[in-house]
Protein backbone atom coordinates (compact mmCIF):
# COMPACT_ATOMS: atom_id res chain seq x y z
CA UNK A 1 0.00 0.00 0.00
CA UNK A 2 1.42 3.42 -0.94
CA UNK A 3 1.78 6.29 1.55
CA UNK A 4 -1.19 8.23 0.13
CA UNK A 5 -3.43 5.18 0.46
CA UNK A 6 -2.29 4.68 4.04
CA UNK A 7 -2.84 8.33 5.04
CA UNK A 8 -5.91 9.30 2.99
CA UNK A 9 -7.57 5.98 2.22
CA UNK A 10 -7.73 3.92 -0.95
CA UNK A 11 -10.98 5.60 -2.04
CA UNK A 12 -9.68 9.17 -1.56
CA UNK A 13 -10.52 10.05 -5.18
CA UNK A 14 -14.19 9.20 -4.70
CA UNK A 15 -14.09 5.81 -6.40
CA UNK A 16 -13.82 2.67 -4.31
CA UNK A 17 -11.12 0.34 -5.51
CA UNK A 18 -11.85 -3.35 -5.90
CA UNK A 19 -10.33 -5.42 -3.06
CA UNK A 20 -7.11 -7.24 -3.90
CA UNK A 21 -8.32 -10.39 -2.15
CA UNK A 22 -11.46 -12.41 -1.77
CA UNK A 23 -12.86 -12.57 1.74
CA UNK A 24 -12.29 -16.34 2.02
CA UNK A 25 -8.58 -16.16 1.18
CA UNK A 26 -6.12 -16.95 4.00
CA UNK A 27 -4.56 -13.47 3.80
CA UNK A 28 -7.80 -11.93 5.15
CA UNK A 29 -8.39 -11.72 8.92
CA UNK A 30 -11.43 -13.84 9.77
CA UNK A 31 -11.63 -12.27 13.22
CA UNK A 32 -12.02 -8.85 11.60
CA UNK A 33 -14.75 -10.21 9.34
CA UNK A 34 -16.59 -11.40 12.47
CA UNK A 35 -15.91 -8.11 14.24
CA UNK A 36 -13.45 -9.29 16.90
CA UNK A 37 -9.79 -9.27 15.87
CA UNK A 38 -7.64 -10.02 18.94
CA UNK A 39 -4.90 -7.67 17.75
CA UNK A 40 -7.39 -4.81 17.98
CA UNK A 41 -9.00 -6.03 21.22
CA UNK A 42 -5.65 -6.04 23.08
CA UNK A 43 -4.18 -2.97 21.40
CA UNK A 44 -2.15 -0.84 23.85
CA UNK A 45 -2.28 -3.46 26.60
CA UNK A 46 0.43 -5.76 27.98
CA UNK A 47 -0.89 -8.42 25.57
CA UNK A 48 -0.38 -6.16 22.54
CA UNK A 49 1.38 -8.13 19.79
CA UNK A 50 1.41 -5.31 17.25
CA UNK A 51 -0.75 -4.73 14.17
CA UNK A 52 -2.65 -7.65 12.70
CA UNK A 53 -0.58 -9.22 9.89
CA UNK A 54 -3.71 -10.09 7.90
CA UNK A 55 -5.89 -7.90 5.71
CA UNK A 56 -8.62 -5.71 7.26
CA UNK A 57 -10.91 -4.42 4.51
CA UNK A 58 -14.40 -3.04 5.09
CA UNK A 59 -15.51 -4.07 1.60
CA UNK A 60 -14.51 -7.66 2.27
CA UNK A 61 -16.30 -7.60 5.62
CA UNK A 62 -19.47 -6.38 3.92
CA UNK A 63 -19.20 -9.16 1.33
CA UNK A 64 -18.67 -11.77 4.04
CA UNK A 65 -21.57 -10.61 6.22
CA UNK A 66 -23.90 -10.68 3.23
CA UNK A 67 -22.72 -14.19 2.35
CA UNK A 68 -23.18 -15.22 5.99
CA UNK A 69 -26.69 -13.76 6.05
CA UNK A 70 -27.55 -15.72 2.91
CA UNK A 71 -26.16 -18.94 4.39
CA UNK A 72 -23.24 -19.19 1.96
CA UNK A 73 -20.39 -18.83 4.44
CA UNK A 74 -19.72 -18.89 8.16
CA UNK A 75 -16.33 -18.41 9.84
CA UNK A 76 -17.64 -18.53 13.40
CA UNK A 77 -16.11 -21.96 14.01
CA UNK A 78 -12.62 -20.75 13.09
CA UNK A 79 -12.98 -17.53 15.08
CA UNK A 80 -14.34 -19.44 18.08
CA UNK A 81 -11.24 -21.68 18.07
CA UNK A 82 -8.97 -18.61 18.14
CA UNK A 83 -10.97 -17.01 20.96
CA UNK A 84 -10.95 -20.30 22.86
CA UNK A 85 -7.15 -20.38 22.81
CA UNK A 86 -7.05 -16.86 24.27
CA UNK A 87 -9.56 -17.74 26.99
CA UNK A 88 -7.69 -20.96 27.91
CA UNK A 89 -4.46 -18.99 28.27
CA UNK A 90 -6.25 -16.50 30.57
CA UNK A 91 -7.81 -19.31 32.61
CA UNK A 92 -4.38 -20.89 33.14
CA UNK A 93 -3.15 -17.53 34.41
CA UNK A 94 -6.12 -17.36 36.81
CA UNK A 95 -5.43 -20.89 38.09
CA UNK A 96 -1.77 -20.04 38.78
CA UNK A 97 -2.75 -16.87 40.63
CA UNK A 98 -5.39 -18.69 42.70
CA UNK A 99 -2.92 -21.44 43.64
CA UNK A 100 -0.37 -18.84 44.71
CA UNK A 101 -2.86 -17.10 47.00
CA UNK A 102 -4.27 -20.34 48.36
CA UNK A 103 -0.77 -21.44 49.29
CA UNK A 104 -0.51 -18.24 51.34
CA UNK A 105 -3.68 -19.17 53.19
CA UNK A 106 -6.04 -16.63 51.64
CA UNK A 107 -9.74 -17.38 52.04
CA UNK A 108 -12.09 -17.01 49.02
CA UNK A 109 -9.39 -15.69 46.67
CA UNK A 110 -11.59 -15.37 43.58
CA UNK A 111 -13.28 -12.08 42.78
CA UNK A 112 -16.45 -13.43 41.19
CA UNK A 113 -17.39 -10.74 38.68
CA UNK A 114 -19.48 -13.11 36.57
CA UNK A 115 -21.96 -13.63 39.41
CA UNK A 116 -23.16 -10.04 38.89
CA UNK A 117 -24.22 -10.66 35.28
CA UNK A 118 -27.82 -11.02 36.44
CA UNK A 119 -27.87 -7.63 38.18
CA UNK A 120 -30.60 -5.47 36.55
CA UNK A 121 -28.27 -2.61 35.62
CA UNK A 122 -25.54 -4.92 34.26
CA UNK A 123 -28.09 -6.98 32.32
CA UNK A 124 -29.58 -3.81 30.82
CA UNK A 125 -26.19 -2.64 29.58
CA UNK A 126 -25.47 -6.11 28.16
CA UNK A 127 -28.71 -5.97 26.17
CA UNK A 128 -27.87 -2.48 24.88
CA UNK A 129 -24.40 -3.63 23.83
CA UNK A 130 -25.86 -6.57 21.92
CA UNK A 131 -28.35 -4.31 20.14
CA UNK A 132 -25.60 -1.83 19.24
CA UNK A 133 -23.45 -4.61 17.77
CA UNK A 134 -26.38 -5.62 15.59
CA UNK A 135 -26.80 -2.02 14.42
CA UNK A 136 -23.13 -1.89 13.43
CA UNK A 137 -23.46 -5.17 11.55
CA UNK A 138 -26.55 -3.88 9.72
CA UNK A 139 -24.50 -1.01 8.27
CA UNK A 140 -22.55 -3.61 6.27
CA UNK A 141 -25.68 -5.25 4.85
CA UNK A 142 -26.97 -2.24 2.92
CA UNK A 143 -26.46 -1.79 -0.81
CA UNK A 144 -23.57 0.66 -0.39
CA UNK A 145 -21.78 -0.13 2.90
CA UNK A 146 -19.08 2.52 2.39
CA UNK A 147 -21.73 5.26 2.47
CA UNK A 148 -22.52 4.23 6.06
CA UNK A 149 -18.99 4.98 7.27
CA UNK A 150 -19.89 8.03 9.39
CA UNK A 151 -22.90 6.30 10.94
CA UNK A 152 -20.79 3.23 11.69
CA UNK A 153 -18.11 5.29 13.44
CA UNK A 154 -20.78 6.98 15.58
CA UNK A 155 -22.24 3.60 16.53
CA UNK A 156 -18.80 2.27 17.46
CA UNK A 157 -18.22 5.25 19.75
CA UNK A 158 -21.60 4.61 21.39
CA UNK A 159 -20.64 0.94 21.77
CA UNK A 160 -17.44 1.85 23.62
CA UNK A 161 -19.41 4.16 25.92
CA UNK A 162 -21.86 1.34 26.72
CA UNK A 163 -19.00 -1.02 27.54
CA UNK A 164 -17.57 1.53 29.97
CA UNK A 165 -20.99 1.93 31.60
CA UNK A 166 -21.28 -1.82 31.98
CA UNK A 167 -17.81 -1.96 33.53
CA UNK A 168 -18.78 0.82 35.93
CA UNK A 169 -21.95 -1.06 36.93
CA UNK A 170 -19.98 -4.28 37.55
CA UNK A 171 -17.40 -2.45 39.65
CA UNK A 172 -20.17 -0.87 41.74
CA UNK A 173 -21.66 -4.33 42.32
CA UNK A 174 -18.29 -5.56 43.58
CA UNK A 175 -17.86 -2.54 45.82
CA UNK A 176 -21.32 -2.97 47.31
CA UNK A 177 -20.89 -6.72 47.77
CA UNK A 178 -17.40 -6.56 49.24
CA UNK A 179 -14.38 -8.83 48.88
CA UNK A 180 -14.89 -11.30 51.71
CA UNK A 181 -13.03 -11.56 54.98
CA UNK A 182 -9.27 -11.88 55.31
CA UNK A 183 -8.86 -11.51 59.07
CA UNK A 184 -11.29 -11.81 61.99
CA UNK A 185 -13.45 -8.70 62.31
CA UNK A 186 -13.06 -6.49 65.33
CA UNK A 187 -16.06 -5.44 67.40
CA UNK A 188 -15.76 -1.90 66.00
CA UNK A 189 -15.93 -3.12 62.40
CA UNK A 190 -18.93 -5.32 63.12
CA UNK A 191 -20.73 -2.40 64.75
CA UNK A 192 -20.02 -0.15 61.76
CA UNK A 193 -21.35 -2.81 59.40
CA UNK A 194 -24.58 -2.96 61.42
CA UNK A 195 -24.93 0.82 61.27
CA UNK A 196 -24.35 0.79 57.50
CA UNK A 197 -27.01 -1.88 56.99
CA UNK A 198 -29.54 -0.01 59.14
CA UNK A 199 -28.86 3.29 57.43
CA UNK A 200 -29.26 1.70 53.98
CA UNK A 201 -32.64 0.33 55.02
CA UNK A 202 -33.69 3.81 56.15
CA UNK A 203 -32.50 5.37 52.88
CA UNK A 204 -34.41 2.77 50.86
CA UNK A 205 -37.60 3.46 52.81
CA UNK A 206 -37.20 7.22 52.34
CA UNK A 207 -36.75 6.69 48.62
CA UNK A 208 -39.96 4.70 48.43
CA UNK A 209 -41.78 7.51 50.24
CA UNK A 210 -40.44 10.06 47.79
CA UNK A 211 -38.39 12.07 50.31
CA UNK A 212 -35.35 12.58 48.07
CA UNK A 213 -33.53 15.09 50.29
CA UNK A 214 -33.72 12.89 53.36
CA UNK A 215 -32.63 9.87 51.28
CA UNK A 216 -29.57 11.76 50.02
CA UNK A 217 -28.66 12.73 53.58
CA UNK A 218 -28.95 9.10 54.67
CA UNK A 219 -26.72 7.96 51.78
CA UNK A 220 -24.15 10.60 52.72
CA UNK A 221 -24.10 9.14 56.23
CA UNK A 222 -23.63 5.68 54.71
CA UNK A 223 -20.58 6.92 52.82
CA UNK A 224 -19.12 8.32 56.03
CA UNK A 225 -19.70 5.05 57.85
CA UNK A 226 -18.02 3.12 55.00
CA UNK A 227 -15.02 5.43 55.25
CA UNK A 228 -14.82 4.85 59.01
CA UNK A 229 -15.04 1.11 58.46
CA UNK A 230 -12.19 1.21 55.93
CA UNK A 231 -10.04 3.20 58.35
CA UNK A 232 -10.83 0.77 61.16
CA UNK A 233 -9.88 -2.23 59.00
CA UNK A 234 -6.54 -0.63 58.17
CA UNK A 235 -5.55 -0.27 61.82
CA UNK A 236 -6.62 -3.81 62.68
CA UNK A 237 -3.70 -5.86 63.90
CA UNK A 238 -2.70 -8.90 61.89
CA UNK A 239 -2.77 -12.33 63.52
CA UNK A 240 0.16 -13.15 65.74
CA UNK A 241 3.06 -14.79 63.93
CA UNK A 242 1.79 -13.89 60.43
CA UNK A 243 4.53 -12.28 58.25
CA UNK A 244 3.76 -8.92 56.67
CA UNK A 245 4.11 -10.37 53.14
CA UNK A 246 1.57 -13.09 53.92
CA UNK A 247 -0.82 -10.46 55.24
CA UNK A 248 -0.53 -8.50 52.01
CA UNK A 249 -1.12 -11.67 50.00
CA UNK A 250 -4.32 -12.25 51.98
CA UNK A 251 -5.56 -8.85 50.84
CA UNK A 252 -5.38 -9.78 47.15
CA UNK A 253 -8.17 -11.15 44.99
CA UNK A 254 -8.06 -12.61 41.46
CA UNK A 255 -10.44 -11.24 38.84
CA UNK A 256 -12.26 -14.19 37.26
CA UNK A 257 -12.55 -12.30 33.95
CA UNK A 258 -8.97 -11.18 33.17
CA UNK A 259 -6.86 -12.78 35.93
CA UNK A 260 -5.48 -9.52 37.34
CA UNK A 261 -4.90 -8.97 41.06
CA UNK A 262 -7.10 -6.54 42.98
CA UNK A 263 -6.39 -5.49 46.55
CA UNK A 264 -9.23 -5.21 49.03
CA UNK A 265 -7.49 -2.06 50.26
CA UNK A 266 -7.93 -0.32 46.90
CA UNK A 267 -10.29 2.63 46.96
CA UNK A 268 -13.41 2.75 44.81
CA UNK A 269 -11.72 4.78 42.08
CA UNK A 270 -8.89 2.24 41.75
CA UNK A 271 -11.38 -0.62 41.47
CA UNK A 272 -13.39 1.21 38.80
CA UNK A 273 -10.21 1.87 36.84
CA UNK A 274 -9.51 -1.86 36.77
CA UNK A 275 -12.97 -2.66 35.39
CA UNK A 276 -12.70 0.14 32.81
CA UNK A 277 -9.25 -1.01 31.67
CA UNK A 278 -8.77 -2.29 28.13
CA UNK A 279 -7.54 -5.67 29.31
CA UNK A 280 -10.62 -6.35 31.46
CA UNK A 281 -13.04 -5.04 28.83
CA UNK A 282 -11.18 -7.03 26.16
CA UNK A 283 -11.59 -10.34 27.98
CA UNK A 284 -15.20 -9.44 28.79
CA UNK A 285 -15.83 -8.91 25.07
CA UNK A 286 -14.17 -12.22 24.16
CA UNK A 287 -16.11 -14.20 26.76
CA UNK A 288 -19.39 -12.61 25.67
CA UNK A 289 -18.64 -13.44 22.05
CA UNK A 290 -17.81 -17.04 22.93
CA UNK A 291 -21.21 -17.40 24.59
CA UNK A 292 -22.94 -15.72 21.65
CA UNK A 293 -21.32 -18.01 19.07
CA UNK A 294 -22.07 -21.06 21.18
CA UNK A 295 -25.75 -20.14 21.43
CA UNK A 296 -26.31 -18.71 17.96
CA UNK A 297 -24.87 -21.35 15.64
CA UNK A 298 -26.57 -24.77 15.42
CA UNK A 299 -24.31 -27.82 15.93
CA UNK A 300 -24.10 -28.54 12.21
CA UNK A 301 -22.87 -25.01 11.48
CA UNK A 302 -20.30 -25.17 14.29
CA UNK A 303 -18.85 -28.40 12.93
CA UNK A 304 -18.43 -27.36 9.35
CA UNK A 305 -15.67 -24.99 8.40
CA UNK A 306 -17.23 -23.30 5.37
CA UNK A 307 -20.10 -24.12 3.06
CA UNK A 308 -19.41 -24.65 -0.59
CA UNK A 309 -19.41 -21.77 -3.05
CA UNK A 310 -18.97 -21.88 -6.87
CA UNK A 311 -15.99 -19.55 -6.87
CA UNK A 312 -14.18 -21.51 -4.18
CA UNK A 313 -15.05 -24.84 -5.83
CA UNK A 314 -13.64 -23.60 -9.12
CA UNK A 315 -10.49 -22.40 -7.42
CA UNK A 316 -10.14 -25.68 -5.54
CA UNK A 317 -10.51 -27.58 -8.82
CA UNK A 318 -7.80 -25.41 -10.40
CA UNK A 319 -5.56 -26.07 -7.42
CA UNK A 320 -6.08 -29.81 -7.78
CA UNK A 321 -5.32 -29.55 -11.51
CA UNK A 322 -2.13 -27.59 -10.77
CA UNK A 323 -1.15 -30.18 -8.17
CA UNK A 324 -1.64 -32.96 -10.70
CA UNK A 325 0.46 -31.08 -13.25
CA UNK A 326 3.21 -30.55 -10.67
CA UNK A 327 3.09 -34.21 -9.71
CA UNK A 328 3.27 -35.20 -13.38
CA UNK A 329 6.26 -32.94 -13.99
CA UNK A 330 7.91 -34.26 -10.85
CA UNK A 331 7.42 -37.86 -12.03
CA UNK A 332 8.76 -37.06 -15.49
CA UNK A 333 11.79 -35.31 -14.01
CA UNK A 334 12.40 -38.29 -11.73
CA UNK A 335 12.16 -40.71 -14.68
CA UNK A 336 14.45 -38.51 -16.74
CA UNK A 337 17.02 -38.38 -13.94
CA UNK A 338 16.78 -42.16 -13.54
CA UNK A 339 17.33 -42.72 -17.29
CA UNK A 340 20.23 -40.30 -17.26
CA UNK A 341 21.84 -42.13 -14.35
CA UNK A 342 21.41 -45.45 -16.08
CA UNK A 343 22.91 -44.08 -19.29
CA UNK A 344 25.89 -42.76 -17.35
CA UNK A 345 26.38 -46.15 -15.69
CA UNK A 346 26.30 -47.91 -19.07
CA UNK A 347 28.81 -45.43 -20.53
CA UNK A 348 31.07 -45.98 -17.55
CA UNK A 349 30.83 -49.75 -17.92
CA UNK A 350 31.67 -49.54 -21.65
CA UNK A 351 34.67 -47.29 -21.02
CA UNK A 352 35.89 -49.56 -18.24
CA UNK A 353 35.60 -52.65 -20.45
CA UNK A 354 37.34 -50.86 -23.30
CA UNK A 355 40.28 -49.80 -21.11
CA UNK A 356 40.56 -53.33 -19.73
CA UNK A 357 40.67 -54.80 -23.23
CA UNK A 358 43.30 -52.27 -24.30
CA UNK A 359 45.51 -53.12 -21.31
CA UNK A 360 45.18 -56.83 -22.04
CA UNK A 361 46.08 -56.39 -25.73
CA UNK A 362 49.03 -54.21 -24.75
CA UNK A 363 50.43 -56.87 -22.40
CA UNK A 364 50.06 -59.51 -25.08
CA UNK A 365 51.93 -57.42 -27.64
CA UNK A 366 54.90 -56.86 -25.27
CA UNK A 367 55.28 -60.50 -24.16
CA UNK A 368 57.73 -62.81 -26.23
CA UNK A 369 56.29 -65.43 -28.56
CA UNK A 370 56.29 -68.91 -27.15
CA UNK A 371 57.20 -71.84 -29.27
Predicted confidence (pLDDT) per residue in 157-216, tens digit = 999 999 999 999 998 888 887 765 545 556 777 788 888 888 888 888 888 888 888 888
Q: pLDDT for 71-129, tens place per residue? A: 888 999 899 999 999 999 999 999 988 888 876 655 567 778 888 888 899 999 999 99
Closest CA to 23 of 10, 8, 34: 34
Cα angle, residue 210 at apex, residues 204 and 212 outer, rounded to 5°:
75
H-helix or E-strand spanning residue 231: helix 212-234
Please write the tens of the pLDDT for every residue from 318-360: 566 566 666 666 666 666 666 666 676 676 667 777 777 777 7
Per-residue pLDDT band at 146 (split at 50, 70, 90): confident
**Is 31's pLDDT higher than 70?**
yes
List Cβ neighbours of 11 (8 Å cut-off, separation of 6 or more). Answer: 17, 146
**Gap between the Cα atoms of 358 and 143, Å rounded:** 89
| Separation CA 80–CA 292 (nearest Å) | 10
Tell me the chain's radius of gyration from C-alpha atoms: 36
DSSP string, 172-190: HHHHHH----SSPPPHHHH
Amino acid sequence: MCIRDRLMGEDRDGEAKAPKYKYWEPEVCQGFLEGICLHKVFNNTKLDTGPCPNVHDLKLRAEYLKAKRDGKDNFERNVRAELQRSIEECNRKIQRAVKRLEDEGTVDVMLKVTQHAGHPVVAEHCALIKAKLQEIQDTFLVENPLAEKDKRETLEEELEALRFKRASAESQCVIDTGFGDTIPKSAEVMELEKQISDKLSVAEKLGEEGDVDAMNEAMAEVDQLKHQKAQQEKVSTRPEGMPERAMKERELRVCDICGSFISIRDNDQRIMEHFAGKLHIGYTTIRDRMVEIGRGAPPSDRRRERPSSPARDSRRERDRYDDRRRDGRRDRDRDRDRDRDRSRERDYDRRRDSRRDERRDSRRSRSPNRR
